[in-house]
Amino acid sequence: MMPRFRHVPGIQPGQPVDFTFNGTAMSGHQGESIASALLRAGILSQRISPRDAGQRGYYCGMGQCWECAVRIDGRRTVRSCMEPLAHGMTIFTADEGIS
């Protein structure tokens, strides 16, 4: 089930889509950023600090810092704040799901 949130007047969300994040089934809207879908689902951190193993949260939200890096379908690493969500995506944090 998708969390409740208030839409900005005049902006229509895309169609609902299903995806997985670190093995957990989730839903979002076609075309919204992956970061947006994860934030609405309560995922506030996507990285672990290599220095102290603490969780690191989103930082810039505009594609400059790479704090929101994720791997899509096991192939490529992208900034989740800049990547549109699509149905069926398999998404892992950048350091998870790598064999």
Q: How far is CA 42 from the centre of its chain?
A: 10
pTM above 0.95, yes or no: no
Q: Please say whether the dihedral angle defined by the alpha carbons of residues 43, 69, 66 and 40, taken in this order, is positive or negative.
A: negative
pLDDT digits (tens, 9 = 90+) for 63-98: 888 888 999 988 888 999 999 999 999 999 887 644
Say if CB 79 and CB 69 are below 8 A apart.
yes
Instruction: Transcribe 59-99 into DSSP letters.
Output: --SSSSS-TTEEEETTTEEEETTTSBP-TT-EEEETTSS--
Task: Label residue 32 by pLDDT band (50, 70, 90).
Answer: very high
- Cβ–Cβ under 8 Å, residues 56 and 45: yes
